[in-house]
Structure 1
Amino acid sequence: MWGIYLFLIALLAVFTILPKIQSSHWIFRVPEFGKIQIFYITFFTFIFGFLIENPSNFLYSQGLLVLLFVHHGVTLVKYTPLYPVKKYRQQHKSSQKLHFISANVYQFNKEYDRFIKLIEKYSPEMFLTMESNGEWEQAMRVLEKEYPFQHKVTLENTYGMHFYSKIEIKSAKTHYFVADDIPSIEAHLKTEDGFSFVFFGVHPPPPSPTEEETSKERDGDLLSAAKRVKDIHQPVIVVGDFNNVAWSKSSILFRKTSHLIDPRIGRSFVSTFHAKYRLLRFPIDLMFHSEDIFIKELKTLENFGSDHLPVYCEFFIDHHNDEQEEQVEGATAEEKAEAEEMIQEGKEEDGERDAVVTED
């Protein structure tokens, strides 16, 4: 029992230290995803320590667990209602409430009807799909009468994206920031009550043993999007499968570079992946927004057969409400230089992806 206890402590310590090493290799970046799980395992290991025979160095090992628990807890508490953030009220000069759904549909998921019924059930003004290929595009055509405005990037490499809207799309473009097979969508919309805003969809590749060896393309793509967003002088929402967690260094750098707000802070984790395994679920489908967009509700919806849960958001726009401005953080000169370096590394990284990906 004592051996198991020590092994767990060593494992927790390693998974805590690895992300501190500034290497882009997946070995160092993947442990960032499991911070929530590490936090809980640390707590249960601490309790487990009292149930076994206590040798002379027991207090030292328990003390280390307390330090690990506090270390992870200080970060994670920001993404819970326990963390104080300034409350706001919707004013009469704001837009009507708007809703969107963001969903990584999983390219090889054939349960198209479940997703279509999900959209029909919640009837958002707009929705974004990722990993949507030609078959998904064909399946979603039944929704085009209800969603007459679309921007489609149909790919078979698991990085296709489709954006559908009831609100008029004034203009839209597809960006390829670091690679010619990794798109991002920028759509400019205007509501019937006269509020213009920009919807930005992203889906960079993840660092993992089965996909990209490093996080260079992911980080370069996200920070390129952040630079583009900073130059947009309208309310902005950036949403998608970031293949990243909000507390990682590159996510924080994204938030500071773009001058956007993370709505999870003071709210909840909104964990989305893996949809089938609750205890191994990470919050990697993220969202950020400018200070004149106010989030009323942010949550996951029911599984429709994908490996990701869809994200549902209700928001409104208010140009006259400055209650969120203090939540906007800018990047320092050193952080800006670091972001530029990461963007350049992302462009130079040669990701080896097939143009057509088939299910193993």
Structure 2
Amino acid sequence: MSACAARLVLSFVVALATVTFLPLIDTNTWWIRYLDFPRVQIFFCLLILTAIAIILRSQISKVGTIVVGIGLLALGHQAFKLYPFSSLSANAAESFDTCSTGSSFTLLIANVRKRNEDAAAFLNVVEAVNPDLLLILETDNWWDRSLQSLDDRFPEKVQFIPEGHGAFGMHVFSRLPLINPEFQFLFDGYTPMAVMGVKLRSGAVVQFVGVHPHPPLAWSQPTTLRDASLLQAALLAGSSPSATIVAGAFNSVPWEPVTRRAARIGRLLDPRIGRGIMPTFRVDSSLISWPLDQILFQEEFGLLEFGVLPAFGSDHYPVTASLCHAPGRDGLAAAPEANPGDIAEAEDSIEEAKVVGATNDGE
């Protein structure tokens, strides 16, 4: 390979190292925050190109040697971020083989995609999983009619379909009694957060929070609304006397700083830690592939089962988890603890989002 080709490889290494370290900047600028998403893809590109650069070390100058060193640092940084979500890491949420009668339940979350009109395929998924609690996102009036067949199976149902903003519709179906279910609107009138108690068959009441935060719709928009929605859900979880599950299409990845902060504030465990990345978006792309759909829960729960299900016509894969409510039982994992400043940062983010949301509603 010529020296020109070697320089081209080094240029790519520099570019990948740059996009690796840019997310270290504390900012809500969307195009910088977006660089957190493709860490897996960047890792493998760096691995290949840095290996090639090392092989070509005889054709590169001292500057090239420095670039290789930078590439190795970037590779190490990506590995550090991704390591918890590999099978080499310890599980954050402990697996249970058994659960006391009445304390287990199954949750299914699915972003059906507003433009997807293959309801039959989705209903087949629901029938196969037979969940106790079902959260459906991106519903509209068409989906509301198409989901009516679930009414016989799920005696409890709440739904919200925003006028003119159907991409943020939300349905919750439950075979378990729902207590004071409501949709909270934090920063605008069309992006709901579902908050409710769920009475288990054991008689215990847990809290469920369903989220689908507003993503930036352009590179010029900030992540303010998305970040604040996740942090508000975490604050609800952290202050609740009931064991809490936070689930939905987060529009963030598990290793992103805001997701980790939300987990610390809400004392939430991520079942992906130690089990694998398990991407859920996009169904039709191997390049754009990351885990946006998440189910997090507090330490009072043990994990019986967790997995990503087959596609059904949406651009998201559905996700299911079977949990065991077992407060005080041996084998439960310790929840993450908030860092100094986490609460203050969350409160500042929420206040900023109120201003942004009010501006958007006024447009």
Counterpart of 1:151 in structure 2: which amino acid?
V
Partner of 1:113: 120
Counterpart of 1:59 in structure 2: which amino acid?
T
Mapped contact 1:94–1:319 kept (Cα < 8 A): no
Tell me which moved more, 93-102 or 187-196: 93-102
Mapped contact 1:93–1:320 kept (Cα < 8 A): no
Mapped contact 1:30–1:208 kept (Cα < 8 A): no
3-state DSSP of counterpart to 2:34: helix
3-state DSSP of counterpart to 2:221: coil
Tell me the distance in 1 between the aligned counterparts of 2:207 and 2:296.
Answer: 12
% identity of equivalent residues:
25
- 1:140 counterpart = 2:147: yes
Partner of 1:45: 49
Tell me the distance in 2 between the aligned counterparts of 1:42 and 1:256.
Answer: 30
User: Could you list the per-position Cα deviations for residues 233-261 of structure 1 after superposition, in whole angstroms to 9, with x for gaps in the alignment?
Assistant: 11211000111111222112111211222
- 1:305 counterpart = 2:310: no
- 1:27 counterpart = 2:26: no
Mapped contact 2:279–2:289 kept (Cα < 8 A): yes
Q: 1:72 aligns with which of 62, 67, 78?
A: 78
Q: TM-score, normalised by structure 2?
A: 0.90
Taking the TM superposition and a 5 Å limit, the aligned residue runs for 1:239-318 are 239-318=247-326
Aligned residues: 353
Partner of 1:62: 68
Structure 2 unaligned segments of length 5 or more: list them: none
- 1:167 counterpart = 2:153: no
Q: 2:11 aligns with which of 7, 10, 16?
A: 7
Tell me the distance in 2 between the aligned counterparts of 1:44 and 1:271.
Answer: 22
Structure 1 unaligned segments of length 5 or more: list them: 356-360
Partner of 1:104: 111
Task: Identify if the C-alpha distance between structure 1 residues 13 and 92 changes in structure 2 by more than 3 Å, giving closer, same or farther.
Answer: closer
Partner of 1:339: 346
Q: TM-score, normalised by structure 1?
A: 0.91
Partner of 1:358: none
Taking the TM superposition and a 5 Å limit, the aligned residue runs for 1:66-215 are 66-85=72-91, 87=94, 89-90=96-97, 93=100, 95-155=102-162, 156-157=164-165, 158-209=167-218, 213-215=221-223
Tell me the distance in 2 between the aligned counterparts of 1:50 and 1:257.
Answer: 43
Task: Identify if the C-alpha distance between structure 1 residues 92 and 56 changes in structure 2 by more than 3 Å, giving closer, same or farther.
Answer: closer
Task: Identify if the C-alpha distance between structure 1 residues 92 and 272 changes in structure 2 by more than 3 Å, giving closer, same or farther.
Answer: closer
3-state DSSP of counterpart to 2:345: helix
3-state DSSP of counterpart to 1:296: strand
3-state DSSP of counterpart to 2:260: helix
Mapped contact 2:96–2:303 kept (Cα < 8 A): no
Across the aligned residues of Structure 1 and Structure 2, the Cα RMSD in angstroms comes to 2.2
3-state DSSP of counterpart to 1:321: coil
Tell me the distance in 1 between the aligned counterparts of 2:288 and 2:78.
Answer: 17
Taking the TM superposition and a 5 Å limit, the aligned residue runs for 1:338-357 are 338-350=345-357, 352=360
Counterpart of 1:217 in structure 2: which amino acid?
L
